[in-house]
Structure 1
Amino acid sequence: MTAPEVQASPADRHLLAPILAHGEPGHASAGEVALRHWTRPGRSGRRGTRVREEVTYADLARRVTATASALAAGGLAPGDRTLFSVRPRPEGVVLAFGVVRAGGTVVFVDPGSTPELFAARVRAAGPSLATTESLLYAVSRGPLRRLARSRGLLLPDYAGLPVRHVHAGPWLPGVPRGSRSARSLAATAPTSSTLPSLDPDREALTVFTSGTTAQPKAVVHTAGSLLAGTDLLRDVFALAPGDVVHTDQMLLGVPALLAGATWSVPADPPSRDVQTFARQLDGAAGTYLVPADVTTLLDAIEAGHVAASGPRTALVGGAPVTRALLERATHVLPGTRWVAVYGMTEILPVAVVEAQDKLAHDGDGDGDLVGRPLPGTVARLDPVDDPGQGGPQVGELVLSGPSLMAGYLHDLDTPARGAGPRAAAHRTGDLARIDADGRVVLVGRTRDMIIRGTTNIYPGLFEPRVAALDGVGEAVLVGLPQVDGDERVALIVTSASPARGASTTSAPDAGAGVHLDPHHPLVDHVRARLPAVLDHDALPDVVLHADRIPLAGRSRKPDRAALARAAAQRIDAAGGMTWRTASG
């Protein structure tokens, strides 16, 4: 006689269900380390790096439940949204999980966006609570605001937001009166009986991706879609209890917690301190890097600054992962399993491809192999408007699956919160074909987008703001692909004609003969004003003045490909011209 099959509860599909279960009394993982947070190195280098804090699964579960109980007692109701600007250290992880356990939604709003865009996103989210780093409160008011402004950060006035406040970190001047400490919330007596049941279909995360001040665009995920996506990543890592994942990315650290492994949290991301980050990779089961981070890591190894010892598995994503980058990575760290991840905020992950498979592919001229869709993910190709884009076997990639978002915020909130349609599929904007083995091969894009680091930059959002500056006729943002798959951002501007707003654009000519000048007087004028009109993460690496903007196609749109080629040639010819970093 066969034993009856145990039916899974709907609550089991909630992101927090397996994580909190690891902390239950008697569970094998209860006493194991869930979170390990490192300090910055002192002057002594490696010996100055130590563990700042360790949190066991039992303590993590207790702190999350305590935080949720305190938030609920303070007025956070299921469905409420919480602005979230806290780094993924233990205090931030507990706070984010606490919001979700109380039935709330974590809303990531970039503090580096322009004040107008930040305000528009706050209005769109309609939060009842703001959870913020103490330091952000301090530098958004008073004399420290000028310091932040000099670093390229035009921060919003967090303390002035008309919501309840919770601050992470020690109290600092600028923290609003009545703000509660995240640490004190986690220290209260947990009362799980007062909390709502774990509903996998409840909204849990909102991430703004693009849009305008009139209609900011934000992706909304449920607790169920987050579990589905992070569980797929756990399988890709092949994680088990006792493993260590070293990453500063929350959605890549969560798979470690699902597996009963340890999430090792660096004091700084690899882009800021790659040497310390690399030393802590030794013995780790996995990490996650964007292509630019991989380049920085390999540079440090080849320069002899760190030992050539990497993690068991390195996932690389967030931007196109080139064959050249993987060839170099597998040569420098042959003992590491290199895996390229393809996905997007709307649905992550979609597909993965092992380095050896991508290197064995026919090459970049035949498209970018991103791999076979992961279990449960369904990919199809829809015809494109222009039949000349890629041939008959190419179409726009459309995706669906359990890790798909619930939808976009402006759709879900229309006509009333939660009453909008749920997403059935996502049109990616990627042109692709599917080979005989069922693998997705990307061949282009249907719309303009630049990917730098972990940031998607939509030119159409920012170009009108630059074009509105005094003295500017037109403005075009283009991406310049780098060998590691990352993109640099070039802003190309023209001078306004005597009749303000008149176009300086020439007839279609494929960009031949466009003159780009990095020393034109308008360049310095524009560069000085960019922090006030662009998101911090969208600031260009270089600004160039063009005598005209070439057009292409029957639609007579700016020829971005020609401008990108001209900009790359101009920079190469300049030799000593250095990139202006996005951090200003």
Structure 2
Amino acid sequence: MLDRLDRTLREGGPRPALLGSTGAQARCGELAALADQYAAALHHRHGLRPGDTLGVAVRPGPRALAVLLAAHRLGLRAAVLDPSAGPDVLRARLALAPPALVLADAVVQAAAGWARPLARRAHLELPPLHLLGPVATVGRRLPGCAPGLGGHPGPPPKPYEGDGDAVVVFTSGTTSAPRGVVHTRSSLAAGMRAVDALVRPGPGRTVLGGTTFVLVPALAAGATVALPARRTAALQRQIDRLAPDETYLTPPRLRPLTRLTGRVWTGSAPADAALLRRAKQAGATEAWGVYALTELFPAAAVEEREKSAHEGPGDLLGAPLPGVRTRLGADGELLLAGPSARDRYLGEDPDPWVRTGDRATLDPAGRIVLAGRLKDMVLRRAENIYPGLYEPSLNLPEVELAVLVGVPAPDGDELLVALVQPRAGADHRRLRADLRAPLARMGSARPDAVLFGPVPLAGRSRKPDRAAAARRCADRLAADPAGSTP
């Protein structure tokens, strides 16, 4: 897929490839030339060879894409540096994959240097980059930045044609046990082919999305990709102006939008049927929920009509995509395998089966029905309650988001609490009345308390932060034990 993208960019010449929130950012020929420049500099000037690790701390955009293409051409392993992980965890992670060179733009270097106090307030913190390895600046240099990546008069080296590690994405773990997902060139290509077969982007179409797995197949097909604006108001204006044929946004980014066009895809965080219905009411011709993990992207997909028709317990994720194999562990954990599955975790042996951490069932048609995260299980009166089985029933039209969390009870047991975030302008008294029926259907899993309020979010994909939600519920109950009768 990356080879196909390289050819498409070279043939595209002056055609716009990437659009920013206010207009064109890069043309096809410019991206191809930039990738050649980076590849030549990395190979001739910095001496990188196939198998070397390249640390990448570059914000999404044309330069980040050109770095990816250059790394692929040279057979390098790109280790993505996440500034939200914290400096100690990041150093521990990279001890498993010491970079031969770190590429960073000026903003990231500022966050690791003079602007560290400001970055820390935004929960973004990098160690001094020179402690991770040699550093080179990509793009414009500012005072205090490392030397520029530079250029080289020689031609870029011939493309590396073997397999091997392509990217390391650190997803979890601690300083004592860091965990990095390792994708090979073949698994990365398989994932992009799966996206291409699912979305079917075409020449001349406009795709709104910023993740690599969306961006690369769309550009390779000859589509123009618009990188989503960060602020909701700017994002809505961007959609109004471009009328994209395909839009991929995480649920928190999709939720506040009121006008959409074309097909809409959402994933990387819970996407219930109510959110997909709302997307179609906002103008989407189709609304798809995509089940995807860093370890295997994408795994399954379901359109709103099919998801809304599901009446049983749990959250219907849809049928596994072609090539994806499923099985259930003894504890009900969903295990996945397939060509796009990660090869291994850094420092561990290869394993074809990905442990998702999700508890699930498979219906008679082989579709995946999510029952919740294993680690989110609430133990109440010796009964195991999996929130994912019941949360979908709380997503009424006037509900923005809802989670079930466990809160310590005075007797040492756990209370099950529903934290419900109403939509703006919702009548809370009527919503509480509307919730009576779905609460009654929960049977023995009926929550002990229902609280209205915002659901905390965390992480790059802005998923519900259950630990923070549990703390918030505990504080609310301690302050007003009688104000939350379900």
TM-score by length of 2: 0.78
Of 50, 67, 77 in structure 2, the residue corresponding to residue 78 of structure 1 is: 50
* Distance (Å, rounded) in 1 between the aligned partners of 2:139 and 2:340: 33
Alpha-carbon displacement from aligned partner over 1:446-494 (angstroms, at most 9, x marks no partner) = 2249xxxxxxxxxxxxxxxxxxxxxxxxxxxx999795786789998x9
Give the aligned partner of residue 342 of structure 1.
291
* Distance (Å, rounded) in 1 between the aligned partners of 2:85 and 2:178: 12
Q: Are residues 72 and 222 of structure 1, via their aligned partners in 2, closer, same or farther at CA, if it must alter by over 3 Å?
A: same
* Distance (Å, rounded) in 2 between the aligned partners of 1:95 and 1:167: 12
Give the aligned partner of residue 37 of structure 2.
66
Q: Are residues 512 and 147 of structure 1, via their aligned partners in 2, closer, same or farther at CA, if it must alter by over 3 Å?
A: closer
Q: Is the 8 A contact 1:152 1:536 kept in 2?
A: no
Alignment of 1:380-529 (within 5 A): 380-384=327-331, 395-411=332-348, 421-448=349-376, 483=395, 507-511=411-415
* Distance (Å, rounded) in 2 between the aligned partners of 1:204 and 1:236: 23
Q: Does 1:95 align with 2:83?
A: no
Q: Does 1:325 align with 2:275?
A: yes
Query: Structure 1: where are the runs of 5+ without partners?
Result: 1-14, 40-48, 302-307, 385-394, 412-420, 450-477, 495-504, 514-533, 545-559, 576-584
Whichever residue aligns with residue 408 of structure 1, its letter is: Y
Q: Is the 8 A contact 1:121 1:216 kept in 2?
A: yes
| Structure 1 runs of 4+ with >4 Å offset | 478-492, 534-544, 563-575
Whichever residue aligns with residue 243 of structure 1, its letter is: R
Q: Does 1:164 align with 2:134?
A: yes
Q: Does 1:312 align with 2:284?
A: no
Alignment of 1:13-412 (within 5 A): 15-24=1-10, 29-31=11-13, 33=15, 35-38=17-20, 49-51=22-24, 53-56=25-28, 58-73=29-44, 74-142=46-114, 144-158=115-129, 160-161=130-131, 163-176=133-146, 179-181=147-149, 184-185=150-151, 188-189=152-153, 191-192=155-156, 194-195=157-158, 197-199=160-162, 201-266=163-228, 268-269=229-230, 273-282=234-243, 284-297=244-257, 301=258, 308=259, 310-333=260-283, 335-363=284-312, 366-384=313-331, 395-411=332-348
Q: Are residues 343 and 567 of structure 1, via their aligned partners in 2, closer, same or farther at CA, if it must alter by over 3 Å?
A: farther
Q: Identity of paired residues, percent?
A: 33
Give the aligned partner of residue 448 of structure 2.
none
Q: Is the 8 A contact 1:69 1:195 kept in 2?
A: no
Alpha-carbon displacement from aligned partner over 1:30-60 (angstroms, at most 9, x marks no partner) = 3363622325xxxxxxxxx333x3321x443
Whichever residue aligns with residue 423 of structure 1, its letter is: D
Q: CA deviation at 1:190?
A: 6.2
Alpha-carbon displacement from aligned partner over 1:248-284 (angstroms, at most 9, x marks no partner) = 2222111202312222224x335584334433441x2
Q: Are residues 162 and 326 of structure 1, via their aligned partners in 2, closer, same or farther at CA, if it must alter by over 3 Å?
A: closer
* Distance (Å, rounded) in 2 between the aligned partners of 1:86 and 1:487: 35
* Distance (Å, rounded) in 2 between the aligned partners of 1:489 and 1:93: 39
Give the aligned partner of residue 500 of structure 1.
none
Q: CA deviation at 1:317?
A: 0.2
SS in 1 for 2:347: helix
Q: Is the 8 A contact 1:346 1:426 kept in 2?
A: yes
SS in 2 for 1:210: strand
SS in 1 for 2:342: coil
Q: Is the 8 A contact 1:281 1:311 kept in 2?
A: no
Q: Are residues 325 and 173 of structure 1, via their aligned partners in 2, closer, same or farther at CA, if it must alter by over 3 Å?
A: same
Q: Is the 8 A contact 1:291 1:316 kept in 2?
A: yes
SS in 1 for 2:12: coil
Q: Are residues 88 and 537 of structure 1, via their aligned partners in 2, closer, same or farther at CA, if it must alter by over 3 Å?
A: closer
Q: Is the 8 A contact 1:432 1:444 kept in 2?
A: yes
Q: Is the 8 A contact 1:239 1:259 kept in 2?
A: yes
Q: CA deviation at 1:173?
A: 1.9
Q: CA deviation at 1:100?
A: 2.2
Q: Is the 8 A contact 1:153 1:536 kept in 2?
A: no
Give the aligned partner of residue 12 of structure 1.
none
* Distance (Å, rounded) in 2 between the aligned partners of 1:207 and 1:328: 32
Whichever residue aligns with residue 241 of structure 1, its letter is: P
Q: Are residues 87 and 399 of structure 1, via their aligned partners in 2, closer, same or farther at CA, if it must alter by over 3 Å?
A: same
Q: Are residues 255 and 567 of structure 1, via their aligned partners in 2, closer, same or farther at CA, if it must alter by over 3 Å?
A: farther
Q: Is the 8 A contact 2:206 2:224 kept in 1?
A: yes
Q: Is the 8 A contact 2:91 2:132 kept in 1?
A: no
Q: Is the 8 A contact 2:252 2:462 kept in 1?
A: no
* Distance (Å, rounded) in 1 between the aligned partners of 2:179 and 2:166: 17
SS in 2 for 1:315: strand
SS in 2 for 1:511: strand
Q: Is the 8 A contact 1:322 1:485 kept in 2?
A: no
Q: Are residues 272 and 258 of structure 1, via their aligned partners in 2, closer, same or farther at CA, if it must alter by over 3 Å?
A: same
* Distance (Å, rounded) in 2 between the aligned partners of 1:66 and 1:264: 24
SS in 2 for 1:130: strand
Whichever residue aligns with residue 218 of structure 2, its letter is: A
Q: Are residues 317 and 280 of structure 1, via their aligned partners in 2, closer, same or farther at CA, if it must alter by over 3 Å?
A: farther
Alpha-carbon displacement from aligned partner over 1:418-470 (angstroms, at most 9, x marks no partner) = xxx32211121222121122211111232249xxxxxxxxxxxxxxxxxxxxx
* Distance (Å, rounded) in 2 between the aligned partners of 1:220 and 1:359: 35
SS in 1 for 2:322: coil
Whichever residue aligns with residue 425 of structure 1, its letter is: W
* Distance (Å, rounded) in 2 between the aligned partners of 1:110 and 1:347: 19
* Distance (Å, rounded) in 1 between the aligned partners of 2:329 and 2:462: 31
Give the aligned partner of residue 414 of structure 1.
none
Q: Is the 8 A contact 2:324 2:338 kept in 1?
A: yes
Q: Is the 8 A contact 1:81 1:107 kept in 2?
A: yes
Structure 1 vs Structure 2 CA RMSD? 3.7
TM-score by length of 1: 0.65
Q: Is the 8 A contact 1:112 1:537 kept in 2?
A: no
Query: Structure 2: where are the runs of 5+ without partners?
Result: 378-386, 418-457
Q: Are residues 570 and 294 of structure 1, via their aligned partners in 2, closer, same or farther at CA, if it must alter by over 3 Å?
A: farther
Paired residues in the alignment total: 428
Q: Are residues 280 and 205 of structure 1, via their aligned partners in 2, closer, same or farther at CA, if it must alter by over 3 Å?
A: farther
